[in-house]
């Protein structure tokens, strides 16, 4: 199984030993960040620094002329990834014999929400989620499609992986997060992720749903959860709390909104890219899920993209729904966390990969070569050498 490791440009730039060290893991490919959200990252082997603070969501290359005069446009990175940081790292990694694919985070951008609050998801209580652009709004959709095309197709890249190309909801790794006091479960997460911005209100009306009545129904449905009700069963619980028909209409509309965005973005990447350029989405086969691994209809997404990257840190079961719709050349990449300190288990990677293959996986993704400790990387090398 072909394996690729996720990498940030700051893991490589300024560290002449990094490309050979990553190639020495036994991976054939790297998935290198070209557009990324704000983060604080450890760099345990870098000769110049140990902590990198990416202060806001940014592109890690100079943005192009297509953004001139536009209200919504990507920000170039600051001192953590100056200039064409992506390009510098990509060239060094390619020189070490690694195939470079881009990694573009799209509908997850706190700076966009801070500078343009009207672009954010608004929940049933009127609270804004600045990290979550609403994918219904025409200007936001145009921004995301153009960002996908530009960030994906960087010089020398053989393919791309598009993350967060869909709905982002309540769940978010935020600085000093303090929202886990009430266990909302999947049902509560869905209800708290329904958007009520002006564009979504129009959309609900097109589904014969009154937006004010729907918001009130969502708040009423959430009341038992705020009081500690247990027994969450995912979608059946959400449908029971909100009402079967109302819940089904909101879900169908949101799925169509995300599905068309994904198709438009993939088409835009293909129109920009050279022949043979691979386009993958980070995806979850449970279509109402939100987040970095966006919920999708497996059949629909695989009819547009070349494949998917599937989160497997909690097990490999999410691969099977995609495998049912895979073509002979479909890429099903099983994504495993190999950083022990982040809950990963690099010591079981060989066994995990075997289980993933049995569920239909064709490739591996390893998160994350720059963040992992030396013992973690040693375990990865051992596992990959046994393939």
pLDDT tens readout for residues 35-94? 999 999 999 999 999 999 999 999 999 999 999 999 999 999 999 999 999 999 999 999
Whether the predicted model's global pTM rises above the 0.75 cut: yes
- Per-residue pLDDT reduced to its tens digit, 334-344: 999 999 999 99
Q: Which of 39, 158, 156 is nearest to 105 (CA)?
A: 39
Confidence band for 360, pLDDT divided at 50, 70 and 90: very high
Residue 261: strand, helix, or coil: helix
Which top CATH class is 2-179+277-385? alpha beta
SS3 state of residue 210? coil
The confidence band for 176, taking pLDDT boundaries of 50, 70 and 90, is confident
**For residue 231, pLDDT beyond 80:** no
Strand partners, 311: 335
- Contacts of residue 386, defined as CB under 8 A and 6 or more positions apart, other chains included, come to 350
Given a contact cutoff of 8 angstroms between Cβ atoms, the answer to whether 119 and 109 are in contact is no
**Predicted pLDDT of residue 387:** 83
Query: Where exactly are the structural domains of the chain?
Result: 2-179+277-385
pLDDT at 55: 96
Q: Are the beta carbons of 165 and 105 closer than 8 angstroms?
A: no
Q: Which helix (H) or strand (E) holds 337?
A: strand 331-337
- In the structure, what pLDDT confidence band is assigned to residue 181 with cuts at 50, 70 and 90? confident
Average pLDDT score over the chain: 96
pLDDT given for residue 174 in this prediction: 74
- Residue 179 above 80 pLDDT? no
Q: Where are the alpha helices (DSSP H) in 276-324?
A: 298-304, 319-323
Gap between the Cα atoms of 11 and 179, Å rounded: 31
User: Which tens digits make up the pLDDT trace of 135-155?
Assistant: 999 999 999 999 999 999 999
- The string of pLDDT tens digits covering residues 105-126 is 999 999 999 999 999 999 999 9
Q: Is the peptide bond before 368 cis (omega within 30 degrees of 0)?
A: yes
292-333: pLDDT as tens digits: 999 999 999 999 999 999 999 999 999 999 999 999 999 999
Terminal Cα distance for the chain, rounded: 7
E-assigned strand segments in the chain: 2-7, 29-36, 39-42, 51-54, 58-59, 99-105, 120-122, 128-133, 159-163, 278-284, 294-295, 307-311, 331-337, 363-367
What burial class does residue 16 get, using C-beta atoms within 10 Å of its C-beta: 0-12 exposed, 13-18 middle, 19+ buried?
exposed
Three-state DSSP class for residue 161:
strand
């Amino acid at each position: 199984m072909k394996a690729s490791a996720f990498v940030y440009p700051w893991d490589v730039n300024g560290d002449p030993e990094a490309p050979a060290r990553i190639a020495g893991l036994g991976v054939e490919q790297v998935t290198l960040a070209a557009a990324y959200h704000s983060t604080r990252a450890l760099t345990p082997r870098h000769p110049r620094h140990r902590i990198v603070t990416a202060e806001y969501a940014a592109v890690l290359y100079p943005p192009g002329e297509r953004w001139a005069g536009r209200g919504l446009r990507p920000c170039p990175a600051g001192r953590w990834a100056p200039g064409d940081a992506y390009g510098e790292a990509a060239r060094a990694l390619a020189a070490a014999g690694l195939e470079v694919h881009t990694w573009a985070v799209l509908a997850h951008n706190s700076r966009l929400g801070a500078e343009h609050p009207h672009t954010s998801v608004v929940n049933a209580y009127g609270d804004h989620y600045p990290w979550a652009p609403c994918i219904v709004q025409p200007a936001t959709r145009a921004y995301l499609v153009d960002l996908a095309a530009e960030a994906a197709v960087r010089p020398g890249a053989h393919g791309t992986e598009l993350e967060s190309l869909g709905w982002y909801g309540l769940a978010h790794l935020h600085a000093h997060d303090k929202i886990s006091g009430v266990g909302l479960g999947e049902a509560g997460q869905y209800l708290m992720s329904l958007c009520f911005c002006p564009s979504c209100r129009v959309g609900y009306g097109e589904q014969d749903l009154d937006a004010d009545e729907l918001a009130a129904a969502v708040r009423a449905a959430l009341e038992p959860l705020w009081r500690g009700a247990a027994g969450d069963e995912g979608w059946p619980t959400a449908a029971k709390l909100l009402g079967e028909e109302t819940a089904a209409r909101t879900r169908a509309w949101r799925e169509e909104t995300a599905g068309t965005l994904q198709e438009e973005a993939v088409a835009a990447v293909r129109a920009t890219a050279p022949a043979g350029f691979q386009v993958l989405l980070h995806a979850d086969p449970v279509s109402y899920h939100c987040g970095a691994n966006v919920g999708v209809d497996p059949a629909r997404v695989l009819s547009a993209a070349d494949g998917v990257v599937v989160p497997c840190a909690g097990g490999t079961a999410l691969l099977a729904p995609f495998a049912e719709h895979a073509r002979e050349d479909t890429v099903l990449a099983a994504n495993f966390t190999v950083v022990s300190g982040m809950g990963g288990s690099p010591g079981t990677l060989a066994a995990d990969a075997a289980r993933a293959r049995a569920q239909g996986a064709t490739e591996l993704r390893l998160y994350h070569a720059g963040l992992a400790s030396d013992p973690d990387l040693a375990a990865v090398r051992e596992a990959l050498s046994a393939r």
